[in-house]
Amino acid sequence: MSQSVAGSTMLRRQIGRKFELLRKAAGLTMEQAAERLDRARATMHRIENGAEHVRFRQADVQQMLDLYGATAEDRELLLAMTAATRENKNWWHDYVGSGLPRWFQLYIGLEAAASNIRQYEAELVPGLLQTRAYAEHVFRMPGGAIDASDGEEQQRAIQLRVERQGLLTRFAAPQLSVIINEAVLRRPVGGGTLMAEQLHQILKAAELPNVVVQVLPFSAGLHAGAMAGAFSVLQFPEDSRGQEVEPPVVYLEAATGAIYLDKPHETAAYDALWVDMTGRALSEDRSKDMIQQIAEEYSRG
CATH number of the domain residue 57 falls in: 1.10.260.40
Shared domain for 61 and 110, answered yes or no, is: no
Low-confidence stretches of the chain (pLDDT < 70) are 1-10, 87-105, 142-151, 153-154, 245, 255-256
Which residues have a Cβ under 8 Å from the Cβ of 214 and sit 6 or more positions away?
177, 178, 179, 180, 278, 281, 282, 283, 284, 287
Are 173 and 255 contained in the same domain? Answer: yes
Number of domains the chain contains: 2
Q: Which domain holds residue 62?
A: 9-87
Within a domain: 23: yes
- pTM for this model (two decimals): 0.70
Tell me, what's the pLDDT at 92?
A: 35
Question: SS3 for 21?
Answer: helix
Does residue 253 lie within any of the structural domains? Answer: yes
pLDDT value at residue 101: 56
Q: Is 156 part of any domain?
A: no
Q: Let me know whether 107 and 247 are in one domain.
A: yes
Q: What is the predicted pLDDT for the residue at 280?
A: 95
Phi, psi of 275 (to 5 degrees): -60, -45
pLDDT digits (tens, 9 = 90+) for 202-233: 999 999 999 999 999 999 988 888 888 999 99
Residues 191 and 290 in one domain: yes
The pLDDT value given to residue 90: 41
73 and 117 inside one domain: no
Q: Is residue 65 a part of any domain in this protein? A: yes
Between CA 28 and CA 22 the distance in angstroms is: 9
Q: How far is it, in rounded angstroms, from Cα 273 to Cα 288?
A: 23
pLDDT at 228: 86
**Confidence (pLDDT) at 147:** 52
- Pair 186, 210 in one domain: yes
**Within a domain: 50:** yes
